[in-house]
Structure 1
Amino acid sequence: MKLDTTDKMLLELLQKDAKQSVKALANQVNLSATAVYERIKNLERNLIIQHYTIALDAEKVEKEFLSFCMIQLDKHSQQNLIEFEKKIQDLDEVLECFHISGTYDYMLKIRVKNIAEYRSFMVDKLTDIPHIANTQSAFSINEVKSNTGIKLLT
């Protein structure tokens, strides 16, 4: 599916506030509510819109400790990669996991309450995963920019 300018406008508006009514969106893109509804349904059917979510205040939900953990596997076999990726899916503390290039194989974005909870996560859960040869952690001092939206229009 090729996106036109109106689709991109709708996607940008929804990324800013997915709770907007179809009528409010229609007013902003100068289309009827029915046309906007159909466009959104089409974007969902084509999996361009994959799901809707909310952003939480990490401090208020007591998950303010943000860390990044680089993982190096002992062997780069397809089976090891598949097994690692499957196990990572079960770890709720891991918000994001990326297979990366360079010295390390994976980068994890992890959110927990504090350093003690992070240590517990590392010792009790992460190191339980087979084939991990090395880890390196970095902790966030200050969140300078955090954005989940993808800019579509210039």
Structure 2
Amino acid sequence: MINKELDKIDIGILNLLQKDATITHKAIAHTLNISPTPVHVRVKRLEDEGYIKRYVAIIDYKKVNRGLIAYTQVQVKPHAEENLIAFLDEVTKLDEVLECSHLTGKFDFLLKIAVRDMDEYNQLLRNKLAKLPKVDNMESLFVMSQAKHETGINLSK
């Protein structure tokens, strides 16, 4: 459910910015049939309130020689809070790790990793991941192809 503070114009702005963060306030205003000044005010409010976290360019991993994508599940033992925090403190420093999510289930964390090739992944696994605090078990899944990759969510539904 959408936050009650967001109206149709806010949702429209967010949907447009998710599709193209370079869209001008004038273009947003034209699309939403309002004037540019309220768009500017609303965008600033959405940024200040944390709805808009940042603006980014989506890079094609293959074109920058990081075409091997792995999802690595990591189990930390024992399951003490300080061990989980110690792992997080270190894993989030690794440039190869694009995402780190804390999970329920057998594994504690899911890492999305982008590297050049299997040799680079093997080096990362042996020389960095396996040496992180309290790592007990890891399992990796490699992306063979990608049918869908969305960076935004449809807020209109």
Per the TM superposition, whether the score is higher than 0.5 is: yes
Number of the residue aligned with 2:95? 92
Number of the residue aligned with 2:153? 150
Residue 53, structure 1, aligned to residue 56, structure 2: yes
Using the size of structure 2 for normalisation, the TM-score is 0.96
Q: What is the 5 A alignment of 1:104-143? A: 104-143=107-146
- The alignment partner of 1:147 has SS state of coil
CA distances 1:25-84 after superposition (whole Å, capped 9, x unpaired): 100111110110000000001011010011111111000000000001111101001111
Counterpart code for 1:9: G
Counterpart code for 1:142: S
State the alpha-carbon separation in 2 of the partners of residues 59 and 134 from structure 1.
Answer: 29
Runs of 4+ in 1 over 4 A off after TM superposition: none
State the alpha-carbon separation in 2 of the partners of residues 136 and 48 from structure 1.
Answer: 34
Residue 31, structure 1, aligned to residue 34, structure 2: yes
- The alignment partner of 2:110 has SS state of strand
State the alpha-carbon separation in 2 of the partners of residues 3 and 72 from structure 1.
Answer: 39
How many pairs are equivalent?
154
State the alpha-carbon separation in 2 of the partners of residues 95 and 27 from structure 1.
Answer: 35
Number of the residue aligned with 2:79? 76
Counterpart code for 1:5: K
- The alignment partner of 1:59 has SS state of helix
In the alignment, structure 2 segments of 5+ residues that lack a partner are none
State the alpha-carbon separation in 1 of the partners of residues 95 and 81 from structure 2.
Answer: 24
Residue among 42, 46, 51 paired with 1:43: 46
Counterpart code for 1:125: K
- The alignment partner of 1:51 has SS state of coil
Counterpart code for 1:61: V
Q: CA deviation at 1:148?
A: 1.1
CA distances 1:101-147 after superposition (whole Å, capped 9, x unpaired): 11111100000000000001111111121100000001001011111
State the alpha-carbon separation in 1 of the partners of residues 123 and 20 from structure 2.
Answer: 36
In the alignment, structure 1 segments of 5+ residues that lack a partner are none
State the alpha-carbon separation in 2 of the partners of residues 130 and 44 from structure 1.
Answer: 35
Number of the residue aligned with 2:15? 12
